[in-house]
Amino acid sequence: MQLAKVVGTVVATQKTESLNGIKLLIVQKLTDTQAPNGDPFVAIDATAQAGEGDLVLIEGGREAALGITEWYNPADQAVIGIIDEVYTVTGKA
């Protein structure tokens, strides 16, 4: 799982049948200090509740496809949770 932020949505006029009714979101991975990390990409919304500006947990690979009912789908990234708060510890332990 990785911390990310939803930065937009995708509108698709055609999708594979297994993704019908599933939102597509543009997400940006974040570092532990919530700085952008890499390029934004598209992920399915397995929560059905995430929206622009939300901090989310994402999962990649085959596990991403398992986040929705139609588990046999081509998803490679999925939003699997919405984060309410993030606590970080700085300095040496």
Q: Which residues contact 56 (CB under 8 A, 6 or more apart)?
A: 3, 4, 5, 6, 27, 47, 50, 79, 80, 81, 82, 83
pLDDT of residue 93: 59
Number of structural domains the chain divides into: 1
What predicted TM-score, i.e. pTM, was given to this entire model? 0.88
pLDDT of residue 67: 85
Domain for residue 92, yes or no? no
pLDDT of residue 44: 95
Q: Domain limits at 57?
A: 2-82
pLDDT of residue 23: 95
Domain for residue 89, yes or no? no
- Per run of 10 residues, the mean pLDDT along the chain (length 93 residues) is 96 91 96 93 96 96 88 91 88 67
pLDDT of residue 88: 78
